């Protein structure tokens, strides 16, 4: 009989968001009249920018002609999109990133998991705690960890706690690690990293021969002009970092799927014998073998993000969600809760009331306010006692949710 991948059996009871969905489903079936407001999963709610919709419609019509039809596109992405990304997202900020180094994909979640295909199994891995669950679970699935302990931490991983006690600043590993996952602005805490903080990480990686996997999916939400948007704004990062980005949250592409990964030319790893190997070639081979590229229609929509109209419309979308975050921060602070994040990111990180754990707070808000959030413990042991609310929703829903939460006896 066919054998299964036993590493999947090491995963905790369920991926965080399916577990939330299970609990909400059970509550809804028991209380079908309850008007539930969902501020849990970070899915956008506002329509696609008009510039993107117009470009996609034109691309559909183009594909309807013999002259304009496109079949398989380049696995790395169409050059015109990669050139727009390189110019607007990187070169405009002084980053030395070329179109050749950009790989268009269907999601940074996918890329941050798939990147393990080109990396050896013996790497020592560091993750922040709390952490976006995909970073951990993809390593578990690939057989790169031991079993989980009672706190849900997996053997073989180095956990770097980020809490209010250290101002949500990820500490450098005490020992040597090879692979480092960083996400700024941070999901789930909403924390950001300054240039000086990122410089310490780059210096560590260069000194230890480590590779930083830098998730910048929320960079568009940074409001402070002094904060870096890309790891490549830091000197030396091209020699030690891969960056992931997404059109999902800034331009509302969660349903249409488009993202990108930057792998600098000259960035190298080593073979088991210590021989240097350029990672760009390995990733290019991986994508060419296992991926057929993002659709022409979607890439045309993504290209429109960089038009003057697209830039204005995306800025308005980001501003709308950040206004939601400001409302959540203000109202929860007024309710007596300690809140963090929500100023440079669309997530607000909340300290749960004394004596209430993360899942207890989830059940409290669901049952008494009919509001769904995300338990901090689902992001790691250091997330226990915290709770995440997302600013991705309509203004009416956010305001109503805050009114309901304020009425809950905390």
List all residues 6 or more positions away from 233 whose beta carbon is below 8 Å from its beta carbon. Answer: 93, 94, 95, 195, 198
Residue 92 has pLDDT above 80, yes or no: yes
3-state secondary structure the chain: CCCCCHHHHHCCCCCHHHHHHHHHHHHHHHCCCCCCEECCCCCCCCCCCHHHHHHHHHHHHHHCCCCCCCCCCCCCCCHHHHHHHHHHHHHHHCCCCCHHHEEEECCHHHHHHHHHHHCCCCCCEEEEECCCHHHHHHHHHCCCCCCECCCCCECCEEEEECCHHHCCCCCCCCCCCCEEEEECCCCCCCCCCCHHHHHHHHHHHHHHCCEEEEECCCHHHCCCCCCCCCHHHCCCHHHCEEEEEECCCCCCCCCCCCEEEECCCCCEEECCCCCEEEHHHHHHHHHHHHCCCCCHHHHHHHHHCCCHHHHHHHHHHHHHHHHHHHHHHHHHHHCCCEEEECCCCCEEEEECCCCCCHHHHHHHHHHHHCEECEEHHHHCHHHCCEEEEECCCCHHHHHHHHHHHHCCCC
Task: Indicate the average pLDDT of the chain.
Answer: 96
pLDDT of amino acid 118: 98
Compute the average pLDDT of residues 70-86. Answer: 97
pLDDT of amino acid 42: 84
β-sheet with 386-390: strand ranges across: 338-341, 347-351, 386-390, 374-375
Q: What is the pTM of this model?
A: 0.96
Burial label for 272, CB within 10 Å (0-12, 13-18, 19+), is exposed
Compute the average pLDDT of residues 154-183. Answer: 94
Taking only the tens place, the pLDDT of each residue in 287-317 is 999 999 999 999 999 999 999 999 999 999 9
Taking only the tens place, the pLDDT of each residue in 234-286 is 999 999 999 999 999 999 999 999 999 999 999 999 999 999 999 999 999 99
Token pair belonging to 37: 């407001």
pLDDT of amino acid 14: 60
Residue 151 has pLDDT above 90, yes or no: no
Size of the chain, expressed as the number of residues it contains: 410
What letter would DSSP give residue 68? Answer: T
């Amino acid at each position: 009989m066919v054998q299964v991948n036993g590493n999947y059996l090491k995963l905790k009871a369920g991926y965080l968001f399916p577990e939330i969905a299970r609990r909400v489903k059970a509550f809804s079936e028991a209380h079908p009249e309850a008007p539930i407001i969902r501020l849990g999963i970070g899915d956008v709610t506002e329509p696609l920018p008009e510039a993107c919709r117009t470009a996609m419609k034109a691309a559909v019509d183009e594909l309807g002609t013999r002259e304009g039809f496109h079949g398989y596109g380049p696995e790395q992405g169409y050059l015109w999109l990669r050139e727009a990304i390189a110019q607007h997202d990187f070169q405009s900020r002084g980053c030395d990133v070329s179109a050749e180094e950009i790989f268009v994909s269907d999601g940074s979640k996918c890329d941050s998991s798939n990147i393990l295909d080109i990396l050896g199994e013996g790497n020592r891995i560091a993750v922040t705690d709390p952490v976006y669950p995909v970073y951990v679970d993809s390593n578990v699935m690939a057989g790169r960890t031991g079993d989980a302990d009672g706190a849900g931490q997996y053997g073989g991983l180095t956990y770097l706690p980020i809490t209010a006690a250290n101002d949500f600043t990820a500490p450098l590993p005490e020992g040597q690690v090879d692979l480092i996952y960083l996400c700024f602005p941070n999901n789930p805490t909403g924390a950001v990293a300054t240039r000086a903080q990122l410089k310490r990480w780059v210096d560590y990686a260069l000194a230890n021969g480590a590779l930083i996997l830098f998730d910048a999916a929320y960079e568009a939400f940074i409001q402070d002009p002094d904060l870096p948007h890309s790891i490549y704004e830091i000197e030396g990062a091209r020699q030690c970092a891969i960056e992931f980005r997404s059109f999902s949250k800034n331009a509302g592409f969660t349903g249409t799927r488009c993202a990108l990964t930057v792998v600098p030319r000259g960035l190298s790893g080593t073979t088991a014998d210590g021989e240097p190997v350029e990672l760009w070639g390995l990733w290019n081979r991986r994508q060419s073998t296992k991926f057929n590229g993002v659709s022409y229609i979607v890439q045309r929509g993504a290209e429109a993000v960089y038009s003057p109209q697209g830039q204005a419309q995306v800025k308005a979308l980001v501003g709308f969600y950040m206004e939601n975050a400001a409302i959540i921060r203000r109202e929860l602070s007024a309710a007596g809760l300690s809140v963090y994040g929500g100023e440079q990111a669309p997530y607000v990180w909340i300290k749960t009331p004394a004596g209430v754990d993360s899942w207890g707070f989830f059940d409290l808000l669901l049952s008494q306010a009919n509001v769904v959030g995300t338990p901090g413990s689902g992001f790691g042991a250091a997330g226990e006692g915290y709770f995440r609310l997302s600013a991705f929703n309509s203004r009416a829903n956010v305001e109503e949710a805050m009114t309901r939460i304020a009425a809950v006896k905390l």
